[in-house]
Structures are given as C-alpha cells and as structure tokens.
Chain A
Amino acid sequence: MKIVMAIIKPFKLDEVRDALTAIGVHGMTVTEVKGYGRQKGHTEIYRGAEYAVSFLPKVKIEVAVDTAQVDKTVDAITAAAKTGQIGDGKIFILGLDSAVRIRTGETDAAAL
C-alpha cells in the first residue's frame, strides 16, 4: 500500500476528484495548505505598503491506494491537475505500513 500525496492548484480539486473516482479510488483527504516551489509569490500593495507574499494557497490531497494502483492514480492526478503553467504542483508517494477501518475493524487492503 502507498499514500499518494499531491499538492495541486485549488481550482483543480474537483477535476482530480472526478478523475480518481473514474479509476475506482473512493476516498481522499483534502487540506488547504500554503507553500512555494518554482512559482514565486506575488506582491500586494495596501496604501503604498508593499508586501511580498511568497506562500501561495494550494490544496493537498492524500489518497491511500494498493501498490498496484499507484501508477494509475498518479497518471489520473497528473492528467487532471495539469495546466502546463508553473505552479501546477507535485506528487509524492509514501509507503504505508498498515490501515484499519474504524467502523468494522477491517485491515490493510480491505480497509481502503
């Protein structure tokens, strides 16, 4: 099992969700986050006081999938979240030791 963690543009969230649903991934955790990568921030001006805002709002999604599904999941996210502009985001894949469904006590793949 793996955790696929993707940092994407906020307005791409619904498209990514639809793409993952289409390949049979049912469930994700979404967090509103801020950060920066190659896309630099922007400047805000309030009555002449200039502020360099270097942390931009992004959405982080986390999906737990079976190892066999990782490639499909990454492809689906990449296709849905891509605009071709700097700032589209990144995908990280992390190992996942075990999982438990709280309601039933099912474990690992059955719990996903």
Chain B
Amino acid sequence: MLKKTPVCAGLAALAVIAAALLFSDPAFAEPAAAAPALPPINKGDNAWMLTSTVLVLLMTIPGLALFYAGLVRPKNALSVLTHVFYTVCIVILIWCIYGYSLAFTGGSSIIGGFEKIFLKGVTADSQAATFSVGANISEYVYITFQMTFAAITPALIVGAFAERMKFSAVALFIPLWVTFVYFPIAHMVWYWAGPDAIQDAAKALAAAGPDAKAAAQAKLDEVMADAGLVFQWGAIDFAGGTVVHINSGIAGLVGALLVGKRTGYGKELMPPHSLTFTMIGASLLWVGWFGFNAGSNLEANGGAALAMINSFVATAAAAMSWMFAEWLVKGKPSLLGALSGCVAGLVAVTPAAGYAGPMGAIVLGLIVGVVCLFFVTTVKNALGYDDALDVFGVHCIGGIVGAIGTGILVNPLLGGAGIIDYSAIPPKVADYDFWAQLISQCKGVLTTLVWSGVGSFILYKVVDILVGLRPSVEAEREGLDITDHGERAYTM
C-alpha cells in the first residue's frame, strides 16, 4: 500500500527523471544543424547574468531556508531546511529535462512545447534574447537563471504548511506543482518572441511594397502572437510578482487550508526559535534579490541599475513602514517586523523593479509594509487560517500590491521607465494608458490566482490520496526532524 510507504513519493519523482533520462535520445545532445550566423554575445551581459544566477541560488539556499528555519520551533528546523533544499535540487533536474522547454518555447499561449526537451539543440553557442535589439546572452545562462526562479518559487510555498506536512507529501507535490502550475504561468507571463524577431518583422513591414503589405503585416502579427497569454494582454511583470510571489502565495494558502492547522495552534506557544537565523536569512534574501531583480534585466546596463536602486529603496521603505506601524499599533518595534517588512518590500518591488522610478519604489515600499502587516496580523487572526510563516500574507498580498502598483508606477509622468514598443522602428517608449494598463495588470493577477489556486487544490488532493498530507498527531508532537528525517537540529 502506497500510503504506508511514504518513500514511494520521493522514489516516484526520481523514477520519472531516471526513466526520462533512459529514454532520452542521444541525438538530442547534438547541436542544431546550420544555425544562422549570430552576433557575438556581450561578455559583460553574460558575466552579469552568471553572477545573478548564483545570487538567486544564494537567496534560496541558504537565504530562504534560514529565514524559514528560524521561524519554526526547534523540533521542525531541519524539516523546513530539508523541504527547501530538496525543492531546489529536484526542480533543477526537472527544469533541464522538460521545464525549460515547457516554459520558454513556443507552442500555445498557455504552455510551451517539447521542442527543447532534454535541452535539445542547446549548445554553448546558443543565444537567448534580452530586452535590446541585437544584444543576446548565452542560452545556457538564460536557462540556469530561469532555473533558479523555478526553484525558489515552490520553495516559498513550504512555509505556509510548515511543521505539519509529511516530507513524502512535499516530495511528490513539488514536482507536480512546478509541472502543472509554475511552467504554464511562467510561459503565460514571460514567454515572447524577443525584440529581434519583432523588430525584423516591423522592418520587413515598413520595407514591403503595397502588394506585400498584407503578408508582412500578417508576419508581424504572427510574431507578436508568439507569446504567452498574459504577456499578450500587456501585463508587465519585471521579475516575477505574479509568476513567483502571487503564484506561490496562493498555493501556500490553499495548502495551509487543506492540510489544516498545526496541532495546538492558537492554544500553545509557537514562537520563532531563532530570530538570529531569520535575520541572517532575510539579509541573504535581500543580497540575493539583486540577482533576482537586477538580473531580470538580462543586460548589465542602466535598466539593471534602475532595478538595483529600486530593490534597495523599496525594501528599506517597507521595513521601516512595517516597523513603525507595529510600534504604533503594538507598542514595540520588533526585529521580526523589520525583517518581514524587508521581504514584503522585496516582493512588491519585484514586478516593478525595472519599470518604476526610485521615488515611486519608495512609495510602493511604504504602502506594502503596512498592507502586509495588516494581513498577517488582523486578517489572519480574524479568519483563523494557519499560514504558518505568512507565505500568503507576505508573498501573495505583497505580490498583488506590487503587480497593481507596477501598472501605475511605470507611468513616465510618475518617474517610471515606461513600456517599450518593439514594433516601432527603432523601439521607443509607448504611450501610457492608465486604465488599459491597470486592467491588464488585474487580468494577470486574477489569472495567476485562479490557475494556481485551482491547480494547487487539485494537486494537494492527488498527493493526499497517494501518500497523505499529514503526519500522525504523535509524529507532529515529536517533531518532523525526528519522525521524518531521523535527526535533530540541536543536540543538548
């Protein structure tokens, strides 16, 4: 019986990978024949993207892992650390086998195809588009950079059901979730043909004679339509407000509701066991987030610098607004408040990083600190759900504030960078339309909430049927470190 052998879940995940590798065609490793001559990649951009990729890994391990571990009780510290570390490793493998292909190749506007399964056709000479015409980076660095995003997003979820989800359930849920929720959302929000393809088609249209006009227009329309659904709606998300934060936040809330409250929640003391770890983790998150946000610019230029300064000021503003609001309302300014505000600010500035101006980013930070404080204290207590580490309250709510805020702050009149129209020759900042942009942003948010909310619900149910979500009450009382992993964080 599968239910009694939880190791099946982990083995099943690995078996899928092993089987996939066994059946993979060795011919896939061969380079694509007769690739067109491409301009040399920019070494500066490439170097920045290599660095950014490593920074995003630093955010996750040890950053996020320590941030979470410090917030749980000592008997579950290793459990949370293991969840995060496992998630990173399993998603790295899945990403290279089929994840990258599903997220970042054409196919439909909902999900990509299997064109690059097993990274078929990708070599050290392959190039990936950036946000500038004629400026490409190595496809391998683009793959690894996006891989770290796919890895951190499900790792965020585990905080919501921390301290009462079996490892076997997590081991099964994570591969399912990235496959059916993350890859489609990443494709819908971020996949597009790239600036070169659009610019080439636009130039062809401009050069076309009267008789070729219709064909050239059709070609341009086709290139513009070779993009994810949310992208086509015009919703902008610089570094993952929808894809990473709303996506993981709502999945966390659904998980927390389905698995139920921790035994003793609301009656027993469950204070964080080491805010020192949490401080180290939050600070590593901030440092690594420069790779996340400034790296999402894909080029080491002024856009990356804008994303960097925004990621400084919005974060500091949110940490201060949370801390001072808490001081006013609760009577004491807490370190945990400042750290939570820091993360909320980073979340909110994620979609806005390359679009807002620095002063707009400060306003965004000041707002999100107070909004998230309200959600993790007042709303959570009023509704009584046990989102253990506030994944919903900080990531989903902060992500929504950021996504809507981005649509407003991108306005050049508010100091924003505007949205580039790549079909203009040369590309230029498009006219800003407040309502159109706001509606696009809301559609992006709602799509993510519904897809991830419903998708996660189904996947949790599947996992519950196959291996069960919850440990026994005795195992939970004993602590997941001992009952799931046979080891303890602290020996005294």
Contact = CB atoms under 8 A, between A and B. Distances in A.
B330 A51 contact: no
A65 to B, nearest CB: 31
A47 B337 contact: yes
A46 B340 CA distance: 10
A47 B271 contact: no
Contacts of B330: 45, 48
A51 B268 CA distance: 9
B378 A45 contact: no
A18 interface: no
A51 B377 CA distance: 14
A47 B332 CA distance: 11
Contacts of B332: 45
Interface in B348-392: 373, 376-378, 380-381, 390
B377 A48 contact: yes
Interface in A7-23: none
A44 interface: yes
B334 A48 contact: no
Contacts of B340: 47
Nearest to B377: A48
B415 interface: no
A47 B373 CA distance: 8
B390 A47 contact: yes
Contact of A45 (B269, B270, B334, B380): B334
B376 A48 contact: yes
Contact of A48 (B270, B271, B381): B381
Please indicate which of the listed interface residues A44, A47, A51, A53 has the most CB atoms of chain B within 10 Å of its own CB: A47
B336 A48 contact: no
B303 interface: no
B271 A51 contact: yes
Binding site secondary structure of chain A: strand
Contacts of B378: 48
A46 B376 contact: no
Contacts of A48: 330, 373, 376-378, 380-381
Interface in B256-290: 269-272
Interface in A30-76: 44-49, 51, 53
A98 B13 CA distance: 66
B271 A44 contact: yes
Nearest to B372: A47
A43 B456 CA distance: 37
Interface residues of B, number: 17
A45 B381 CA distance: 13
A44 B272 CA distance: 11
A77 B340 CA distance: 45
A25 B377 CA distance: 53
A51 B269 contact: yes
Nearest to A47: B376
Interface string B298-334: 0000000000000000000000000000000010101
Interface in B67-102: none
Nearest to A52: B269
Nearest to A53: B269
B261 to A, nearest CB: 13
Q: Give the one of A46, A51, A53 with max B CB within 10 A.
A: A46
B72 to A, nearest CB: 12
Contacts of B334: 45-46
B336 A47 contact: yes
Contacts of A53: 269
A47 B340 CA distance: 8
A48 B334 CA distance: 11
A9 B376 CA distance: 36
B234 to A, nearest CB: 36
B398 to A, nearest CB: 14
Nearest to B322: A47
Contacts of A47: 336-337, 340, 376-377, 390
Nearest to B332: A45
A51 B270 CA distance: 8
Contacts of A44: 271
A53 B377 CA distance: 19
Contacts of B271: 44, 46, 49, 51
Contacts of B376: 47-48
Contact of A46 (B272, B373, B380, B381): B272
Interface core residue of A44, A45, A48, A51 (most chain B CB under 10 Å)? A48
Q: Which 8 A-B pairs have the closest CB atoms?
A: A48-B377, A47-B376, A51-B269, A46-B271, A45-B330, A51-B271, A46-B336, A46-B272
23 contacts: A44-B271, A45-B330, A46-B271, A46-B272, A46-B334, A46-B336, A47-B336, A47-B337, A47-B340, A47-B376, A47-B377, A47-B390, A48-B330, A48-B376, A48-B377, A48-B378, A48-B381, A49-B270, A49-B271, A49-B381, A51-B269, A51-B271, A53-B269
Interface of B: 269-272, 330, 332, 334, 336-337, 340, 373, 376-378, 380-381, 390
Given A47-B337, A53-B269, 4 more contacts: A45-B332, A46-B334, A47-B390, A48-B380
